[in-house]
Amino acid sequence: MSNLPIFDVAGSAMQAQSVRLSTVASNLANANTVAGTAEGAYRAKQPVFSAEPLAADPALAGVQVLEVRESDAAPIRRYDPGNPLADPQGYVYAPDVDPVAQMVDMISASRSYQANVEVFNSAKELAVATLNMGR
C-alpha cells in the first residue's frame, strides 16, 4: 500500500489484466488440442474479478481476481478414426474455444492494461511535479 492510493488502484487493475491475458494465452494455446474422452478435453478458463476496497481509503476500490473458472461448455465431438487418441467409436473431443472471441478478449485486456499503465505513469509524473514545486 502506498500513500497515494491511485497507484494501488492502477496496480491491482494491471495485475488483474495480466491474469486475464494469461488465461487467454492458455485458451488459445489449447484451442486445437484433442482428447480421447470428454472429461479429458481442455476446458477454457475465465478469470472472475471483484472490487476490493482499499485499506488506505475504503471509498476507493481496486480489482481482485477471485478465481479462474473453467468453462461448463461441452467439448466438441469430432469423428477422427485415424487419430491415436480416438475412442473405440472413432471420436476425439476438442475444447469449445472460439479463437476469434479469445483474440477480442486479448485485445480488450491488452488495452485495459495499457490504459492502467498510462494512469500509473500520469500519477507518477504528477507526484514528481508536486514534489518539485517545493524547490
pLDDT digits (tens, 9 = 90+) for 56-111: 788 889 999 999 999 999 999 999 999 999 999 999 999 999 999 999 999 999 99
Give 94's strand partners: 76
Cα angle 41, 46, 51 (rounded to 5 degrees) comes to: 160
Q: Average pLDDT of the chain?
A: 93
Give 65's strand partners: 49
The C-alpha atoms of residue 77 and residue 127 are separated, in whole angstroms, by: 57
Q: How many domains does the chain have?
A: 1
Write down the pTM of the prediction. Answer: 0.87
Say if CB 6 and CB 51 are below 8 A apart.
no
Could you tell me the residue range of the domain that residue 92 belongs to? 5-134
Name the pLDDT band for 2 (thresholds 50, 70, 90): low
Helix residue ranges per DSSP H, 30-98: none
Nearest to 18 by CA among 118, 130, 113, 108: 113
All three cell numbers of 68, joined, read 479462474
- Positive or negative CA dihedral for 10, 15, 16, 17? positive
The C-alpha atoms of residue 93 and residue 116 are separated, in whole angstroms, by: 39
Scan for cell 491511485, then name that residue: 6
